[in-house]
Amino acid sequence: MDSINNEFLRDEELGITEIDILKQENNRLRLQLNEVINKNKNWSQNIDNFVDKWFETNEENISIGTVTILYQEIDLFPNWLEKIVYKKMLKIVYSFFKEIF
Name the domain count of the chain: 2
Residue 7 has a pLDDT of 55
Q: Do 33 and 48 have their domain in common?
A: no
Q: Do 60 and 93 have their domain in common?
A: yes
Q: What is the pLDDT of residues 61-100, one digit of tens each?
A: 888 888 899 999 898 999 999 999 999 999 999 999 989 9
Q: Do 64 and 47 have their domain in common?
A: yes
- pTM, full prediction: 0.58
Q: Please give the residue range of the domain that contains residue 30.
A: 1-41
| Residue pair 70/91 in contact by the 8 Å Cβ criterion | no
Report which of residues 99 and 11 the model is more confident about: 99
Residue type, 36: V
